[in-house]
Amino acid sequence: MSGDERPIVARPVPRNADGTLSVPTTDHGLLRLVCPSWCRDGHTAPAPVDKADICHRSEPVWALSVTEEYGEAGHLPVSFLQFPFRANNAVYLVLEDQPDGDLEFGPNGARKVAESLRAHANVIDGMAVELEQIRGAGR
């Protein structure tokens, strides 16, 4: 790193005695933020953010598989997300790290995703059987 470059360091957001966080914003100054119980976002940022871009986010939950190939491997992280100061301030379930970016679903969409993943698990089981046959037949 050259002498002119400074590392971007996330500053901890001060927690107030009443449990709220004081978040600096570009457009509304210092904002007192009340986080829902599921929010694990420290609301740290290298710079103030627009009020509308403040979001509550839960810890991601991963599907975990333990395989010979990779040991413990996490797949398909999901979390809750909310932008509390936007017109649409609903809480969404987020499928993270998808090819087209994060995907956000309401309760019905989340259930549809779960349904398709159960069906997809059957596809993977079937392909595992087919893989055994392919490998058993040689090359």
Residues forming contacts to Zn ion in the complex (CB under 5 A) are 35, 39, 41, 56
Nearest approach in angstroms of CB 41 to Zn ion is: 5
In whole angstroms, what is the distance from residue 124 CA to residue 121 CA?
Answer: 5
Nearest approach in angstroms of CB 62 to Zn ion is: 21
Identify which of residues 51 and 56 has a Cβ nearer to Zn ion in the complex: 56
In whole angstroms, what is the distance from residue 86 CA to residue 105 CA?
Answer: 17
Identify which of residues 89 and 116 has a Cβ nearer to Zn ion in the complex: 89
State the DSSP code for 34. P
Identify which of residues 39 and 93 has a Cβ nearer to Zn ion in the complex: 39
Nearest approach in angstroms of CB 27 to Zn ion is: 18
In whole angstroms, what is the distance from residue 18 CA to residue 41 CA?
Answer: 18
In whole angstroms, what is the distance from residue 101 CA to residue 88 CA?
Answer: 19
Identify which of residues 53 and 113 has a Cβ nearer to Zn ion in the complex: 53
Nearest approach in angstroms of CB 90 to Zn ion is: 15
Query: Which has the closest alpha carbon to 34: 25, 43, 45?
Result: 43
